[in-house]
Amino acid sequence: MLLRPDGDGVLAIGQPAHAWLSGQLARGWGNERFGAVEPWEEVCLAAEQHDVGMAAWERRPTLNPETGLPRSFMELGLDAHLEIWWSAAPLVLTQSRYAALLVSMHGSALYERRNLDDERARAFLAGQRELQDQLLAGLRADPRTAATASDDIVRRNQRLVWTWDSLSLGLLLGWAPFELTAVPATNGELDIAVAAGTLDPWPFRVPRLTMRVEGRRLSGRFADEETMREALAAAPWETVEVQLAALS
């Protein structure tokens, strides 16, 4: 869950909703400088579904007693976080092998970045590598998917999912100005500067992009988990519109 400060309350935006914004970014992506996304549907699906493992938790979020609010995605304990990411790729596998591969690689990248010296994290990474090897073997043996299952293309697509994930979080949580680093481009990689309402260089096909997500307006602070859950379930829904435009 993302908690977006807004007036005297917060907008509670589910992780799957943030992933929906990642998918909208993916579907607008690509131009002469940044190249095409291939395979298009599978990579866009991975972007849109990369946080599907959070869906069950979002229905019964836990309380952060220090804030009196639902825990944000950055406040989850290791056990809860691992349980979510163990479930993510298998859930996506019911839709697409290629998308499941990218979601598994995304989870691995998160834990490699955390660099945890923990047996549970090491077991997770080993399990994801095994799953990735199985999926890659199947994709490479299938004439319909072999051309986009090379190491270079798969790694490029994993970096794209990472880029859209980071950009979506930054847009929803108001991180600007910030930078997206090592973004796959037509010739190598580029860094993208993100300012209020624009990116430089511009990576989208069209000069203006309008996207939306939905969240619930939550007011007040809560002393116990059930009261917080009841308030969240009854909270009014609001639509957040995100607009980006190329520099003129």
What's the whole-number average pLDDT of the chain? 96
Contact partners, residue 42, CB within 8 Å, separation at least 6: 96, 98, 99, 102, 148
**Helix, strand, coil percentages for the chain (3-state, nearest 5):** 50, 25, 25
Which residues lie across from 64 on neighbouring strands? 69
Distance CA 158, CA 160 (A): 5
Q: Is the pLDDT of residue 248 over 90?
A: no
Tens digit of pLDDT for each residue in 80-93? 999 999 999 999 99
Distance CA 222, CA 66 (A): 10
Q: Is the pLDDT of residue 137 over 80?
A: yes
Distance CA 211, CA 188 (A): 28
Q: Where are the domains of the chain?
A: 2-245
For the chain, helix (H) and strand (E) counts, in that order, are 8, 9
